[in-house]
Amino acid sequence: MYPDPKRVKCNRVIVRLDDYEHSLLVALANYKGVPLATLLREIVMSEAGEILDLQQQNVTQTTD
């Protein structure tokens, strides 16, 4: 059915936000025209990639 069954998005994570944080993210999702969950996934994956890239750069600088 799917080429890679591990790519099916079936894992859930609960994030608790206050009203101001939630309103900000809903407004951003509405502005971009995407569902809130999609926006949050994009933000989280982008930030995770940046963190991993920074860690890799630090390791490279340390070994040079």
Q: How is the chain split into domains, by residue range?
A: 5-63
- Token pair in block for residue 35: 């569902």
- What is the mean pLDDT of the segment spanning 2-30? 94
CA 23 to chain centre: 18
| DSSP state at residue 33 | T
pTM: 0.76
Q: Which class would CATH give 5-63?
A: mainly alpha
pLDDT at 59 > cutoff 90: no
Lowest-confidence region among 7-11, 14-18, 32-36, 43-47: 7-11
Q: Could you give the C-alpha distances from 30 to 22, 42, 51, 54, in angstroms and in order?
A: 12, 14, 27, 31
Dist CA 35 CA 47 (whole Å): 19
pLDDT of residue 3: 87
- What local confidence, expressed as pLDDT, does residue 64 receive? 66
What is the longest distance spanned by two Cα atoms in the chain? 47
